[in-house]
Amino acid sequence: MPIADRLPAGKWTELRLPFSKFSGRYQGTEDSKFDSRRLSKITFVQNLEDGREHILYIDDITVVDSKTADHRALSIPSGLKVHGEDSHFDLSWRPCPDSNLLSYRVYRSWDGNKFEPVGTRPSWSCRYVDYVGGPGKIASYKVTAIDVNQNESALSDVASATTRALDDDALLDMVQQGCFRYYWEAANTDSGMAVEIVPGDENLVAVGASGFGIMSQIVATERKFITRDASVGRMLKILKFLGRADRFHGVWPHFLDGRTGHVNPYFGKYDNGGDLVETAFLMQGLLAARQYFNRDSAEEREIRERITTMWREVEWDWYRKTPTSDVLYWHWSPDHGWHISHPLIGWNETMIVYLLAIASPTHSVPASMYYSGWAGQSDEAIQYRRNWSRTSQGDHYINGNQYYGIKLDVGVGTGGDLFFTQFSFLGFDPRDKQDRYTNYFHNNRSIARINRAYCIDNPRKFAGYGPDCWGLSAGVNSGGGRAAGPRRQWYNLLFGGRARRLSVHAR
């Protein structure tokens, strides 16, 4: 479908693609209504008569329903606050209530008089980070609201701040607060739990990530980032949601729909049941909360009672598959049984599953499964480690090799991504914890040091890696970064959209 005869070079041009004029089949061959929900791509084609190469930049893709949009004047953003950090300003403001709100526009001034636009935020975000390069800089800011037809509100009141040098404690405060905001401010509205990714499906609640969010909430409460009353309220909201959510022999799935509490089989039809690993990540957060919220109030007693009930209901022993199994299994489906049949064999992030399963007061597994399953030496366990790591180093759980002059007692290859250590030890303090293979505080530190040494060496020449940029792990846009040695590609959850309005820039 042609949308423009010629795009002017060197300038941004707004293009509007009216979905109402799209057809579902080639014009004239079949009548079919276009379904915008199934749109997968929009193609831009160069004019064939030109014969020259051009580059087209596309930005600010937005889907709006202009027919149902509210055309009333927008509210002016209020409550603007600016906080200066070492090399950036952190802005926040109260959300506008307008139904036709599309985005916010941020204006900055260096002299307090002339304000120029420096950034745009989507309607769901009331934060902006402006990197300005270093301490000692003074800036003032204002914010406007923009509707779906590009109408702009009046400017907000001004807020100003100064960047400042940070010592180590202040730097850690900034990082911790920033991480906590993801779980607190971007949580699913109905459940209070963490969503998988932002921007993305706002109702795709991640069970394991919510366990991490609960632990960050405990820290934020203790550090007075939020009030204890607010924290108690959020905990009760989460617990009430979890109490009515789908469980499979006491085990939650990987993903829940934040609106209904029903399982979301995001990874396919066989993933429509319990996920023992994600449940373990959640449960270690819940148990930490049960210990932290220890006051003798009705609300905090309810928190402890609800968590105790959930803890006792998890049937860890069911996930042995058979009563005599030497290993625990990751998934079980009410429709497909043990079809996935993924054994839990370390070294990886699943140690906490065995620790909690052994400790269960109601559905425990034998302590011997720590060595037969997690640290198993069977042919299956050895082959499992080799299959995912593509190396024999550490395939018997114990490693013993040196990497960059640092000995690694336990771990496949160079120890793997850092989340292998982080996830289990968020709720399980590794200090003075030792089995027949290693002291886990020392082993975890070795994995981190090897990770850093690899980034300093940077054999693949990735931009930015070095002594101050390390800590490779799985994540969005991680590119499959690994500490060293064999790599595997991490497939991350990315969410697409459908375009109705977009801006393009040609040259």
| Residue pLDDT, tens place only, 73-99 | 899 999 999 999 999 999 999 999 998
Residues 308 and 219 in one domain: yes
Percentage of the chain beyond pLDDT 90 is 72
- Residue 47: inside a domain, yes or no? yes
464-483 tens-digit pLDDT: 899 988 887 776 655 444 43
CATH for 267: 1.50.10.140
Residue-level pLDDT at 64: 72
Please give the tally of structural domains in the chain.
3
Q: Which of 336, 316, 210 is nearest to 273 (CA)?
A: 336
Decide which of 29 and 431 is more confident: 431
Question: CA–CA separation, 176 vs 182, rounded Å?
Answer: 10
Residues 275 and 313 in one domain: yes
- Residue 419: inside a domain, yes or no? no
Decide which of 492 and 109 is more confident: 109
- Residue 452: inside a domain, yes or no? no
Residues 209 and 303 in one domain: yes
Q: Which of 379, 375, 382, 384 is nearest to 355 (CA)?
A: 375
Contacts of 82 (CB under 8 A, 6+ apart): 89, 90, 91, 139, 140, 141, 159, 160, 161
Residues 156 and 195 in one domain: no
Last residue of a domain, one of 166, 194, 220: 166
CATH for 83: 2.60.40.10
Residues 144 and 188 in one domain: no
Last residue of a domain, one of 134, 166, 198: 166
Q: Radius of gyration over alpha carbons of the chain, in Å?
A: 26
Separation in Å, CA 151 to CA 1, 74, 92, 103, 147? 28, 8, 22, 10, 5
- Cβ contact 427:463 at 8 Å: no
Burial of 30 (C-beta count, 10 Å sphere; 0-12/13-18/19+): exposed
Question: CA–CA separation, 131 vs 136, rounded Å?
Answer: 13
Residues 203 and 343 in one domain: yes
Q: Which of 78, 80, 81, 88 is nearest to 162 (CA)?
A: 88
Residues 126 and 226 in one domain: no
- Residue 112: inside a domain, yes or no? yes
Last residue of a domain, one of 376, 393, 427: 376
> In 3-state terms, the chain is what percent helix, strand and coil (to 5)?
30, 20, 50
Backbone angles phi, psi at 396, to 5 degrees: -100, 25
Residues 200 and 345 in one domain: yes
| Residue 48 lies in domain | 12-66+499-506
- Residue 445: inside a domain, yes or no? no
Residues 57 and 82 in one domain: no
- Residue 306: inside a domain, yes or no? yes
Q: Which two tokens stand for residue 228?
A: 């204890």
Amino acid code (one letter) for 177: Q
Residues 184 and 280 in one domain: yes
- Residue 407: inside a domain, yes or no? no
Amino acid code (one letter) for 381: A
Question: CA–CA separation, 162 vs 87, rounded Å?
Answer: 10
Residues 59 and 89 in one domain: no
274-316 tens-digit pLDDT: 999 999 999 999 999 999 999 999 999 999 999 999 999 999 9
Residues 52 and 83 in one domain: no
Q: Which two tokens stand for residue 461?
A: 């020449």
Separation in Å, CA 271 to CA 200, 338, 343, 351, 461? 20, 10, 15, 21, 38
Over 70: is that where the pLDDT of 500 sits?
A: no
Confidence label for 4 from pLDDT (cuts 50, 70 and 90): low
- Cβ contact 91:130 at 8 Å: yes
Beta bridge partners of 410: 398
Residue-level pLDDT at 490: 29
Cα–chain center distance at 266: 15
Q: What is the mean pLDDT of the chain?
A: 88
Residue-level pLDDT at 58: 84
Q: Which of 290, 278, 304 is nearest to 210 (CA)?
A: 278
Beta bridge partners of 162: 138
- Residue 277: inside a domain, yes or no? yes
